[in-house]
Structure formats: structure tokens, C-alpha cells
A and B are shown apart, each in its own frame.
Chain A
Amino acid sequence: MQNNDGKLTFAQIGIRGAIMVAASMLVGYLSGYSGMHNAKQILAISIFTLIISATLLFWNFRLAIAFIGMAIILGGKVLTLEQFISSAELDIILFLIGMMTLVGVLKDLGLFSWIIQLVIGMEHMTGRLFIITVIIISALMASIVDEVTSIVFMLALIFQVCDTLKVKPTPYVIISVLATNIGSSGTMLGNPIGILIGTKAGFSFVDFLVWATPVMLVSLILTLILVIFWFKKDIQVLSERLESRRRMQAGLGPLVEIPYKKGLAILISAITLIALHHTLEQKLGIEKNTLLIVAPLAISGLLMIWKNERARHYIESEVEWWTLMFFMMLFAVAGSLEKTGVTEQIANNFTNTFGENPYVLTPVILFMSAIGSAFVDNIVFVAAFIPVVNEIGATPLWWALLFGGCFGGNITMIGSTANIVALGMMEKRYRQHITFLEWFRIGIVVGIFTCIIATLLLYLLIPLMPATAGY
């Protein structure tokens, strides 16, 4: 993948374009050997491969390629316009718009500034305590807002501390990203794949708290122990610098009195409303997950009336339209796989190969989605797998998909949006690159380690889980 700011030469575009088209055609051709002989099936699977290749080879062009792919799918009558709209998962897109707007307001209200001040104002801070704090806050923020907001916010804290203490920020950036990706699996709100899986499987917010949060917490604690050993030299240096700064009676940054209470109250209200969506929906007789989608929108609407002079800013600048448009195209293309029966065929092939035993399928799906998510945007991989898991219909597999998608993102530096945002911020601020190997050395260990933990914990939970998802 090219750097976000990097420009490709014509030769690079030509070579990568040829690889992308060749891969797309090859997969289309090979799909014939998997029992897919229908022209629409072949077109749908080729376009999906094209978009996967685009995220890998043409990061900056991925939306353009998704637009073109969608046009081919519609032009080729693989999907009708109505099917396109129903496949584009507008409910998820609206949910994400609501959450992004809410986060923008919370930032304005100083909630995130207040949390950072809480950390830099801690009196007996040591290197180890700082790591523990970073890991806990990264995971917590990722699970209650979203992974990108969490990493932007955490990096502001890390840069502040590292700049003040004149220490290299790389280890702390990596640690924060690892914790963010792990934490993002803890709730429905943490990662776009969480809300995608949640709405598709019919899981509620409470389902996530019951089945996903414990696995996330155990994985996080064990990762914490691992990184403390892994980065012990850096932590030692950090402790020494903190101690010498303490002796000088100098803080880690200016502390001001922030009126955080409004922001905190809004966040708690929003999370409570979202958490209670299932109960309220049942009481009010509303269709499942309606309140989940509506709550962030309604709260954002009210906040935009309150802060009406900033409302346009929240919508124009805080909502990541580029990403959301890509998601819409991706969901629609994944929908075309379902509509043409490709996913049913893949699911059949899958169960023919691996059987239907969840104890076998859970690690297979978890590790396949982890490896896929290490190299391709995890939402791409999960969107492709959802119809397959839906066809098989076993509850543990949804969770396997969630953990594979989230934990696999830690393996490489391009494994998730949080990683890419963090690298971009590092480069912009310090003009420093984290090398692929520098990341991979710890990423592969944490990635595989957490995937194994998640598999073992899911094994323990499988007997307790309902046979099929939903409520």
C-alpha cells in the first residue's frame, strides 16, 4: 500500500493496475471450479476481488475503484437499484454518522482534553503505570467511541508525554494501537465490524457485553503483561525521565480547569441509551436495533440544535464521509455476492471442507479473518465473510469473525484503520516511519497470541451460547 501522501509513478500505477485486474480475472475464472458458473456470480466475485485488491494496492483510489466496481455491478444487472440500496446498509452508515457527530461535540466540550489532563496530572506516574494507563484508556475509548477517535486522542496524550520527556514515541504508539484494536472488539461501538456483525447477527449491545467484552478484557490483560516485558527497556527510560522531571517539580503539560461535566454527562447518557436499546425496543415494541441506530442520530440532532453555530462543522469535518462512502459501496458489493448466491456456494464449500462442528469452524474462521484482516482492511474481509457465516448460522462463528477481524488488525501496520491513522500522525509530526518489521515483530506475537486466547475462551463459551444468533 502506498503512503497516504505518496504519489505513484505511472509505471507503478500500470504494474499495480495490471496485478489488480489480473487477480480479479483469475478469481473470477477460478470461481468456475467452485461451482459458480453463472455470469452474474462471476462478475460479482471479480468486482469484489477488485475492491479487495484496490485496498491493498491503491489505498488512495479505493473509493474511486469501489464507485467504478459498483457501476459495473449495476450496469451488468448483477444488482438492481433497489437491491443496491438495501445492500448498502444505510442503517449502519447512519449509526456511524451519529457517533462521529457525537464525538465531534464531545471534543469541542473538552471531554477528551479533560481525560488527557487526568493522565498527565497523575502525581506518581512511572513508566509502567503510564503503559497500563495507555492500554486501559485506549481500549476503553475504542470500545465506547470508536477506534479512530480513540487513537487520535491517545496519540495526543502520547506525543505530549514523549515530547516533554524527550523519549521516542514509537513503542507507546504501537502499544496504544494494539490496545485500541483489542478494545474495539469489546462493544458494538468500537469498530465498524462490531456494528456490522451486531446488526447482521441480531446481537444487542448487551450481547456484546456478555460474550465479547470478557474475551476482550482477558486478551487485553495478557497483552498488557506481554508488552510490559517486550518494551521493558523503553519503560525503564520513561520511568527515569519521569522521576527526573518530578524532582524538578515540573509537570508533563499545562493543566487548566476544564468544564468537562456536560461532555461526560452526554457521553454517559448516549452509552446508557445505546446499552438499553434492546430492553427499550422490547418495551416500546420497536423493531430490533432501531433504537440502536436512532439513539446516536437523535442525540447528535439535539446537540446540533444546542451548538447550532458549530453544527455544519460537525457534519462537514467530523464525519468521515470518504470512509462511509467506501463502506456503502463495499457493503453493496458484498450484498451482490449474497444476492447472486456466491456466498451460499462458498458456505457450502466451506462446510464441505471443514464440516459444521463449531469447535472446528471457530478457529478456522477466526484465524482466516485474522490473516485476511492483517493485510486487507478488516471491514472488507468481514463484509465478505458475513453472508458465509450467516449461511452456516452458528452463533460462535460471529464472535470468531469479530475477534479475528479486530485482533488480526494488529499483525501488520496496515491491518486496521487505527494503525494507518496512527502511522500518518507519527509521520506528520516526527517525519519518522515505523518500519514494517518494527511493527510486525510485536504485531505477529500479539496478533497470534490474542487469537489463540480468543479461540480458547470461545471454546469455553460455546456450550453457554444460544445455538443461533439473534433475539
Chain B
Amino acid sequence: MFRDNTDITTFASLLSTDNIVLFEKTSGVADIFAELLKNLALTYGIGNVKQILSGAPGNNNHGLPKPLNGCALLQHFRLTTTDHTRIAIGIVREGIEYNTGKTKTKIHFFFLLATPRGRPDLYLRVLKTIVGFTGDSAFVDFALKEATPEAIYKLLEKTGENIPGYVLVSDIMQKPEHLIREGHNLKEAVDMFTRTGSLFIPVVDKDGDLIGEVTLQELMRVCLPRYILWMDDFQPILNFEPFRNMLFNEDNTWLEEIMIYDIVKVHAGDPAIKAGVGMTKLSVDHAYVLEDKKLAGIVTLQQFVYKVLRE
């Protein structure tokens, strides 16, 4: 039976066998999630299903379900009508074809997660746990083979999967898409900025250790230093005169000259909030995630806010 989850420790404590529902492969994804929502509403009285689905004030669910490990979808609702975290699981043994935007994949598990609106941590903590066991092929195989609510619940109980106490940087970071080596010059950096559309590029040394970054903001600051900004008159700079020097010298200007060393560095195992605090303290919009001085990921302010407030 359901246990109060104000101090949740295990995943199984968030649901009961009643919240695990088997569906036929003919079911649609939207129907499955609607059914799971009804299930939670009937079992726990989490509010009016129609209102929740229509995104009534106070309840939000932004965007499409989140694909997990190629076999699961997660739909999340933040609700003002409950103080507890609730989960319903839908299972389609044969799987349903689903287009994730990049690829088509067969989805077997449908997780509907309802969290109290004022607890942004709970979603991320539970998400991590779901990612953990949907990525475990032994669990997936067994769950599909023994697809009865009781068997699956027992399995969840048996695995004793713990909900982590807090969200880690590694849970919200993204893989770095590009970087540049310190020996490169300004021209290569500007080329990379224009090619990638990025506002910042991490800089690594010859050993691959992160040493700083170059940013478009700093590039602008170098071209338009404080003493030029003092002037009220735009006439002297009307034709981008301060940028001429940079264009002339970009081939022989080393990255070091426009590099910023004072960057936010966190580690994958740090609490995620540390990245948020670091970004706020330095008034920047990204933090670098290190593993043994090597760049392992990036947390952007946009991603951080989306994860905490919306996803």
C-alpha cells in the first residue's frame, strides 16, 4: 500500500500496484498519459484531471514527454493540489512507435510523475532514479517479461532503488559541443563563434585541461573599452572604428589576450545548486563541469532554470 512520501527514500514508496497499468499497443501516447493521470487522481485525489491537462493556473506541464533511454517516456506535472510526489507507470509490452524528433523508437514504459509545485528538487531526484532503472537492460527485460503490476512493483521494491537526497551537477549538465586550444589565435576563435553561434568557447591547454574561456562579451569589451563608452557622441565610432584594430591584428592576437580566467568551475559530483550559485555570484550564464581538470560538461543558466522551474 502507499506510504507517505514527505521524506521519500525509495522509488517504490512513491506508488502502489494500483498505479501500474498495462496498455495495449493500439493505445495512443496522449491517451496513456491521460489514463495514468486519472489513475493518480482516483487513487490520491490530486485534483481535477481536465484542469490539469488543460494547464490550469497553478498546474503546469510544459512541453512534450521526455524520452528516456530509448524505451521510456516521462510526463511531469507540477501541481498545487498535492503535497506529495506521485507516480503512475504505464507499460506496453509490445511497445509503441514514437518519434522523439531525431529518431523513431519503441516506447514500452510511460511514467507520469506529479510533484508538488513548490518542490523543484523532487522531479529531478525522481527523474534520476527512473533514468537509472530504465537504463538497466536486466530490469527492462524482466519488467516486460513479467508484465503484471504486482510483479513489477515487487521488482521495484526488490531493487530498493533509492531516491538521491539532492540533484547533482551531472544530472543537469550538457556535453560540451566545442572547445578551442590555448595556442589558437583570435581569428580562429571568431570563426568558431560565427560557425557555432555560441556566445562562449571554453579554452583548454595542451593537456586538455580547462584553463579559461573566450566570450563574445569580452570580445566586445576589448573593442569597446570603458573609456570609449564614456562618450555621449557616437560620431567617432559610427563606422565601427574600434573594431578595425582587432581585424588588423586578429591573426597575431593570441587567445590569451582576450581570455577570461575567472570562470565558474564545478564538479560532476557537486550539488547542482552549486552551479547556480556560482553563475549568480559571477553574473555569468554558464558553469563548466570538470573531471580531473578536464572539461566534462557545461551547465547553462537557461538549462538550469528550465530544469528547476519548468521541465
Contacts and interface: CB of A to CB of B under 8 A. Distances in A.
A310 B232 contact: yes
Contacts of B230: 107-108, 110, 112-113, 156
B231 A110 contact: yes
24 contacts: A107-B230, A108-B230, A108-B233, A109-B231, A110-B231, A156-B226, A157-B227, A159-B226, A160-B225, A166-B256, A166-B257, A249-B249, A250-B249, A251-B245, A254-B223, A254-B228, A254-B242, A254-B246, A256-B228, A256-B237, A257-B241, A258-B236, A430-B262, A431-B282
B253 interface: yes
Contacts of B237: 256
Interface string B243-282: 1111001001100110000100000000000000000001
Given A112-B227, A160-B226, A254-B244, 15 more contacts: A108-B233, A110-B231, A110-B232, A157-B227, A160-B225, A160-B227, A253-B225, A253-B227, A254-B225, A256-B236, A258-B236, A259-B235, A259-B236, A430-B262, A431-B282
B245 A258 contact: no
Interface string A234-250: 00000000000000111
Interface in A105-128: 107-110, 112-113, 116-117
Interface of B: 223-228, 230-233, 235-237, 241-246, 249, 252-253, 256-257, 262, 282
A156 B228 CA distance: 10
A345 interface: no
Interface string A383-426: 00000000000000000000000000000000000000000000
Contacts of A109: 231-233
Given A157-B227, A159-B226, A160-B227, A254 B245 contact: yes
Contacts of A160: 225-227
If over half of A's interface residues share one DSSP class (helix, strand or loop), that class is named, otherwise mixed; here it is loop
Interface in A259-298: 259
Contacts of B226: 156, 159-160
A254 B227 CA distance: 10
Chain A, interface size: which category? Answer: 20 to 34
Contacts of B253: 248, 250
A164 interface: yes
B262 A254 contact: no
Contacts of A310: 232
Contacts of A249: 249, 252
Contacts of A430: 262
Contacts of A8: none
B60 to A, nearest CB: 35
Given A248-B252, A431-B262, A254 B232 contact: no
Interface string A151-173: 00000110110001010000000
A307 B232 CA distance: 10
A120 to B, nearest CB: 9
Nearest to A108: B232
A428 to B, nearest CB: 11
A255 interface: yes
B117 to A, nearest CB: 31
Contacts of A253: 225, 227
B245 A110 contact: no
Given A107-B230, A113-B231, A250-B252, A256 B242 contact: yes
A248 B228 CA distance: 24
Closest 5 pairs between A and B when the two form their complex, measured CB to CB:
A254-B242, A108-B232, A110-B231, A116-B227, A256-B236
Given A112-B227, A113-B227, A250-B249, A256 B233 contact: no
Contacts of B223: 254
Interface string A83-117: 00000000000000000000000011110110011
Contacts of B228: 113, 254, 256
Contacts of B232: 108-110, 307, 310
Contacts of B233: 108-110, 259
A169 to B, nearest CB: 13
B257 to A, nearest CB: 7
Given A164-B257, A257-B236, A431-B262, A108 B225 contact: no
- In this complex, the member of B232, B249, B256 whose beta carbon has the largest number of chain A beta carbons within 10 angstroms is B232
Contacts of B242: 254, 256
A408 B231 CA distance: 34
A166 B228 CA distance: 20
Contacts of A256: 228, 236-237, 241-242
Contacts of A159: 226
A419 to B, nearest CB: 20
A255 B243 CA distance: 10
A117 B245 CA distance: 14
Contacts of A108: 230-233
B236 A110 contact: yes
Interface in A309-356: 310
A433 to B, nearest CB: 14
A110 B235 CA distance: 11
Contacts of B282: 431
Contacts of B241: 254, 256-257
A426 to B, nearest CB: 13
Nearest to B236: A256
B137 to A, nearest CB: 48
Interface string A133-160: 0000000000000000000000011011
Most-contacted residue by chain B among A159, A248, A249, A253 (CB, 10 A): A253
A254 B253 CA distance: 14
A11 to B, nearest CB: 24
Contact of B231 (A250, A258, A307): A258
A410 B224 CA distance: 33
Contact of B227 (A156, A250, A257, A307): A156
A251 B252 CA distance: 12
Contacts of A251: 245
Contacts of B246: 254
Contact of B245 (A116, A248, A255, A431): A255
Nearest to B226: A156
Nearest to B228: A113
A159 B222 CA distance: 11
Most buried by B among A113, A254, A257: A254
B238 to A, nearest CB: 10
Contacts of B257: 164, 166, 250
Contacts of A431: 262, 282
Contacts of A255: 245
A221 B232 CA distance: 36
A430 B260 CA distance: 11
A115 to B, nearest CB: 9
Nearest to B261: A166
**Residue of B228, B242, B244, B252 with most partner-chain A CB within 10 A:** B228
